Structure 1
């Protein structure tokens, strides 16, 4: 139980509803910012404006998966009002207050460091990333089917990166009958690709390897699918970029050449928000419980 914990949940998408539901069931006291248009009521949860929050009593702040943008704005599908999360708010929190988000950026990292508050990036955790790869893969399959006139079975699929998402994508497309090759840099990843029964290739050979691909799925958050790489692809190639914004693809050049390229970060929140939210809610509830126990131990 999280009885006595005071938590602010600021903005987000439908995944946040599962987090609110779970924490409400565990008896936490919740302040919901950016949820004015949410009809559903949760016991122990109160809708508030960010300027009305008493940050001095908060034990935790839960931001959406992306955190904020580079101006500190927090997106919320449940509000038309702009919510800005600033370092001034953080400075008002107790020293034990922990901030949770999926990922970070330069703005969020900067205000966290200035305030000396602890920041947990949930997507840095292996358990969250691995569980989250399941709806990501399903969403990727959906996008491929919607945007091609050929089957995955028998098509040549290139997956760039063998991280937690890349591994799940490569394995699933292989099981669907795709001829899957995977690009990586480290020798250990290349060995793992070979062990999985897939075709490995070094990312140094990326341009050459793209000459026969039907589907290219990028998971690397760096500009890797460049103009020369796109130029070597067949015109019918579909690029799905799963990396966080702005992705790793030169979308301008892809459009100029006539190659369809789609940026698809946050797929779990789009295709399976309930399941994706439950993944986050289960991990968050355990982390908050541990935080609560640590606080009691310090007292």
Structure 2
């Protein structure tokens, strides 16, 4: 699987993007790196450029950071002093074949790809990426629980809210460490799966009753579910870790008022294991780029 002849621009990002660069260099893609001027490392086959010097008509793909853009159309990079502008004018300079990749999207990016009619792939919407990412997420959650409690995970009472791709891995991880894990869900098939996993299921309608005796509450649901009335029923020592994307699913204002420690912790893979998180993104990106490249080569024949 080689990408010889494919031209990709990587715009901004953090340490995870370095794994993407390494992988694509290995596959012989031609890379234009924007927002990497403070990166000391040199990659053979990759050229650092300011955004106005990129050969946009020649691009086959643009890779944005996990978070895509800001709401005012900038791309952040830990390897540059200033954010990089990512405008409609820039995207319109690319050929129609150019695909834009990011982890997630927002209203600005959605509108941009709509206006420019470019294909946009959100990697974190894919099941494979989310499942792979749930592993460093679960490890990071263990780290946070250890840091912010004065008791062992073994023997502690843990409630995990949601049995999605992250919730399942988190519940299994804490159970493997000896915690007494119960999992809240709504769908009957999720409640059945929780039972099959050897854990205790409960319906989220009963959340207020179920939190009365817990030590740790781990939320994975991106809606306000850990409300003031739920927090009011928790023991004062309960630690809440919210893994949902911002703004999370917890009433943080009330938690602070009541003295319950509540931590919003999205994006743990990039914090606790940037190398692994980067390799996850790089491997999936390489596969997607290759499939795209193959289709184009076949169409030329």
Q: CA RMSD in A?
A: 1.2
Unaligned runs of 5+ in 1: none
* 1:202-224 CA distance string (max 9 Å, x none): 11122221111111111111122
1:30 aligned residue: 31
1:83 maps to which residue? 84
Deviations 1:228-263 (A, max 9, x none): 222221111111111112211122221121111111
Supply the distance in 2 between the matched residues of 1:255 and 1:103 (Cα, whole angstroms): 29
Could you say which residue in structure 2 is the equivalent of 1:232? 233
Displacement of 1:43 in angstroms is 0.8
Q: CA deviation at 1:42?
A: 0.3
Looking at structure 1, the residues matched to 233 and 55 of structure 2 have their Cα atoms a distance apart, in angstroms, of: 56
Deviation at 1:79, TM superposition (A): 1.4
Aligned equivalent of 2:266? 265
Equivalent in the alignment of 2:206: 205
Q: Deviations over 1:65-100 (max 9, x none)?
A: 111222222221111212122222222211111111
> How many residues are aligned here?
299
Structure 2 CA distance for aligned equivalents of residues 122 and 195 of structure 1: 30
TM-score relative to the length of structure 1: 0.97
Segments of structure 2 that go 5 or more residues without pairing to the other structure are none
Match of 2:289 in 1: 288
Partner residue in 2 for 1:192: 193
Q: Classify the secondary structure of the residue corresponding to 1:79.
A: coil
**CA distance in 2 between partners of 1:112 and 1:72 (Å):** 12
1:219 and 1:31 map into 2 onto residues whose CA distance is 36
Match of 1:56 in 2: 57
Q: Which runs of 4+ in 1 moved over 4 A?
A: none
Q: Which shifted more, 3-12 or 249-258?
A: 249-258
**1:256, 1:66 → 2: CA distance?**
31
Secondary structure of 1:211's match?
A: coil
Q: Distance in 2 between matches of 1:17 and 1:82?
A: 18
Q: Give the direction of change, closer, same or farther, for the CA distance of 1:225–1:86 in structure 2 (3 Å limit).
A: farther
